[in-house]
Amino acid sequence: MQIFLTATRRAILVLAMLGVAAYGAAALVTVADVLGRRVGLPIDGVVDLVQLFVVTGAWLVMPWAFCSGAHVGVDFLITRLPRAPQILLRFLAMLAALALLGAMLWLGYGTFQQRVMFGDRSQQLGIPISWFWLPLLIGLGFSLLGAIAAFLSPQVQGQEL
């Protein structure tokens, strides 16, 4: 069990770092384009690049919120309850999260397959649209693992991984 928790936390932390780096890349491309336009050297496809980086950042950081308990919650009510109801409510919350994340992953994968089948591409650079869906699928998959890890180790919630 401890091996699963440690490996999950490490993988999720790496994904979160990549997500933050993607946000940084979006900012750098935007600044470079703004400065480049002032001297007549705009960056071609800046919209495509920024969209891809922002989508990647959002979905790769999301598992960290599940694993660390950083998402919005109503802990102030749950912590006042006796231990048995706390565990039950946390278990039910995990099941609800797993059901929602699982449904999103299932439907997202179907859409990803359609984008691959049709060969959809972005308008400016022709980036395959399936590339925009890969971070979503990875983020949802690891969010499932993060929700399980958070339930199995409640002392981690609200603390750094």
- Tell me the per-residue pLDDT of 84-106, one tens digit each, with 9 for 90 and over: 888 898 899 899 999 999 999 99
Residue 142 domain-assigned (yes or no): yes
Helix (H, G, I), strand (E, B) or coil at 121: strand
- Tell me the residue range of the domain where 23 lies: 2-156
Residue 161 domain-assigned (yes or no): no
pTM of the predicted model as reported, rounded to 2 decimal places: 0.87
Report yes or no: 59 and 139 within 8 Å, Cβ to Cβ.
Answer: yes
Q: What confidence tier does 125 reach under pLDDT thresholds 50, 70, 90?
A: very high
C-alpha triplet 26, 10, 102: angle, nearest 5°: 75
CB-based burial of residue 149 (10 Å sphere; 0-12 exposed, 13-18 middle, 19+ buried)?
Answer: buried
Query: Number of folded domains in the chain?
Result: 1
Q: How far is it between the farthest Cα atoms of the chain? A: 66
